[in-house]
């Protein structure tokens, strides 16, 4: 039993979950005063960014932070365990959440606000943060459920026919994936008798050779790959992400698939490493096919929202290469790419919202002349297009270099070639968007603005996109700090002795 009072720093581990949950409850009470709910959400997420900066600093300087619930010591109690990987992704989540909340003022109408947009939004951020920070594999499942419930609410808010159609496709596949996840957790618990991640990492190597741990690892891979929209079960993403409000699509594209990638890193690399190595060829081909499907799908689209859905899929395949190769540099590249993708995909979806606001459409068949209408916005979109394609000097360049180098060093030249080839195809797809929608000028005037879109100044909708663009440029020009942190996270995944020791009290913090 824990009888000593916790140090103040330990509360940082739970704050990224507790704060947005409390904020969501307050927003529910203030739903009839939507101006208050909007301001409260921005304040809560601003505080969350500061908390996550402090949490990352503590973890980088002093090692993992552990907070146990219910007075029970690990491995028996529920706990939050924050290492470098979790802290990095939690910080990125809060940054994207804050930017999205600012943009929501220009995108979410009064009706959706009154029906609980900000409550669902904060619940989503809490669920994503909980998934990144939990140290219990069953509670990873619980936080998946929390973010799924919130995402269902956000997707159907407004009740439009297209939203409901997209929500059915999104919901069915994710519920199937969740079922596989729960079955795998039950089987793993039956084998090792614990749900604590550190205890699982310690217990799995002690299992008998006859234990069906490879089957459990396969179930985990299927579940998380479905949630991450990997081949062949990726069709739900481009069929659903274009249906809700653009700020919802942006946050979904940035965060939700990355939770699946994080779960693959945490479970298959850290907890079940031998099983992952036994299935690495399967993982590698899934990654290659995911990249190809995403890249060719993007080239075939005439609607920019649908096009970006396939670009998200291409990025997922790129991250899966890191999981499949499994070396320190490959894993660090996957983590770096995940952070880059969260930022740049959120920014690109928000930029599509800007296209709709300026031109009344995001169809490449009708949209044109946006460079003439707003040159600054056109330049920002071009920077984001270069970044998502992996071109220097932006944030997507360095993780691709790391992944290509790691793939070649491990003998996976096909994976390296596919990363480069799909990068070229993504460049062509994004160049097509810019040339047709921004550079081409059909000489037509912009139509009446989209019905139901709140009136907003240019700063209200362009400012959040510009903030993310500045971060994307900074991570490309000065990559050393993030690269060092991702290398630390990869080292901890491959050698979890420090993580296990801190959680179970068997060693000093590194």
Query: What integer pLDDT is reported at residue 88 of this predicted model?
Result: 95
What is the full per-residue pLDDT of the chain (510 aa) written as tens digits?
A: 556 666 777 788 899 999 999 999 998 888 777 678 889 999 999 999 999 999 999 999 988 888 887 777 778 878 899 999 999 999 999 999 999 999 988 888 777 888 888 999 999 999 999 999 998 999 999 999 999 999 988 888 877 777 787 778 788 888 888 899 999 999 999 999 899 999 999 988 888 777 788 889 999 999 999 888 888 888 888 888 878 889 999 999 999 989 999 999 999 999 998 888 888 888 899 999 999 999 999 999 989 999 999 999 999 999 999 999 989 999 999 999 999 999 999 999 999 998 888 888 888 888 888 888 889 999 999 999 999 999 989 999 999 999 999 999 998 899 999 999 999 999 999 999 999 999 887 765 545 455 556 666 778 889 999 999 999 999 999 999 999 999 999 999 999 988 888 888 754 443
Structure-block tokens of residue 125? 């951020």
User: d(Cα 239, Cα 19) in Å, to the nearest integer?
Assistant: 33
pLDDT of residue 508: 41
470 Cβ contact partners less than 8 Å away, ≥ 6 residues apart: none
Facing residues of 130 across strands? none
Cα separation, 64 vs 67, in Å, equals 10
Handedness of CA 381, 385, 387, 392 (dihedral sign): negative
Q: What share of the chain is helix, strand, coil (3-state, %, to 5)?
A: 75, 5, 20
The 3-state secondary structure of 99-168, one letter per residue: HHHHHHCCCCCHHHHHCCHHHHHHHHHHHHHHHHHECEHHHHHHHHHHHHHHHHHHHHCCCCHHHHHHHH
Q: Cα 180–183–186 angle (5° rounding)?
A: 150
The pTM of this model reads 0.92
Closest to 444 measured CA to CA, from 346, 361, 354, 331: 361
Peptide bond into 454 cis (omega under 30): no
Handedness of CA 419, 422, 428, 429 (dihedral sign): negative
Question: Residue 507's pLDDT is what?
Answer: 43
Collapsed DSSP state (helix, strand, coil) of residue 65:
strand
Nearest to 149 by CA among 3, 286, 24: 24
What local confidence, expressed as pLDDT, does residue 169 receive?
79
What is the per-residue pLDDT for 33?
76
Neighbouring C-beta atoms of residue 232, cutoff 10 Å: 11
Per-residue DSSP letter, 363: B
Quick one: pLDDT at residue 20? Answer: 94
User: pLDDT value at position 338?
Assistant: 95
Quote the tokens at residue 211: 């234990």
Q: Residue 94 and residue 115: Cα distance in Å, rounded?
A: 23
């Amino acid at each position: 039993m824990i009888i000593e009072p916790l140090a103040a720093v330990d509360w940082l581990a739970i704050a990224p979950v507790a704060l947005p949950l409390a904020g969501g409850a307050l927003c529910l009470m203030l739903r009839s005063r939507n101006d208050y709910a909007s301001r409260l959400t921005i304040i809560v997420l601003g505080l969350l960014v500061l908390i996550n900066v402090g949490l990352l600093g503590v973890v980088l300087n002093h090692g993992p932070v552990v907070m146990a619930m219910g007075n029970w010591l690990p491995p028996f109690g529920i706990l939050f365990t924050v290492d470098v990987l979790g802290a990095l992704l939690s910080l990125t989540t809060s940054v994207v959440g804050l930017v999205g909340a600012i943009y929501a003022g220009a995108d979410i109408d009064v009706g959706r606000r009154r029906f609980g947009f900000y409550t669902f939004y904060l619940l989503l951020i809490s669920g994503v943060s909980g998934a990144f920070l939990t140290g219990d594999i069953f509670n990873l499942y619980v936080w998946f459920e929390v973010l799924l419930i919130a995402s269902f609410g956000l997707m159907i808010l407004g009740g439009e026919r297209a939203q409901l159609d997209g929500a059915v496709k999104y919901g069915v596949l994710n519920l199937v994936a969740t079922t596989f996840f729960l079955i795998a957790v039950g089987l793993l618990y039956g084998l090792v008798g614990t749900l604590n991640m550190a205890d699982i990492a310690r217990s799995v190597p002690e299992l008998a050779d006859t234990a069906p741990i490879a089957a459990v690892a396969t179930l985990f891979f299927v579940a998380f790959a479905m949630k991450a929209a990997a081949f062949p079960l990726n069709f739900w993403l481009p069929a659903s992400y274009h249906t809700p409000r653009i700020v919802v699509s942006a946050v979904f594209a940035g965060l939700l698939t990355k939770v699946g990638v994080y779960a693959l890193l945490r479970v298959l690399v850290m907890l079940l490493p031998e099983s992952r190595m036994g299935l690495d060829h399967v993982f590698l081909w899934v990654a290659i096919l995911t990249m190809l499907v995403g890249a060719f799908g993007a080239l075939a689209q005439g609607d920019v929202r649908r096009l970006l859905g396939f670009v998200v899929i291409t990025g997922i395949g790129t991250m899966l290469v890191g999981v499949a190769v499994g070396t320190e540099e490959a894993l660090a590249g996957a983590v770096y790419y995940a952070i880059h993708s969260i930022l740049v995909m959120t920014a690109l979806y928000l930029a599509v919202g800007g296209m709709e606001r300026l031109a009344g459409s995001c169809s490449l068949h009708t949209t044109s002349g946006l460079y003439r209408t707003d040159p600054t916005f056109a330049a920002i979109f071009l920077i984001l297009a270069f970044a998502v394609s992996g071109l220097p000097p932006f944030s997507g360049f360095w993780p691709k270099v790391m992944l290509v180098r790691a793939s070649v060093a491990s003998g996976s030249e096909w994976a390296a070639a596919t990363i480069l080839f799909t990068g070229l195809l993504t460049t062509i797809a994004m160049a097509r968007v810019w040339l047709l929608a921004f550079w081409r000028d059909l000489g037509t005037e912009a139509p009446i603005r989209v019905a139901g879109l709140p009136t907003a100044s240019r700063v209200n909708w362009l400012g959040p996109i510009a903030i993310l663009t500045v971060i994307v440029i900074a991570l490309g020009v000065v990559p050393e700090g993030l690269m060092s942190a991702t290398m630390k996270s990869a080292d901890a995944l491959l050698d979890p002795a420090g993580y296990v020791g801190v959680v179970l009290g068997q060693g000093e913090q590194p």
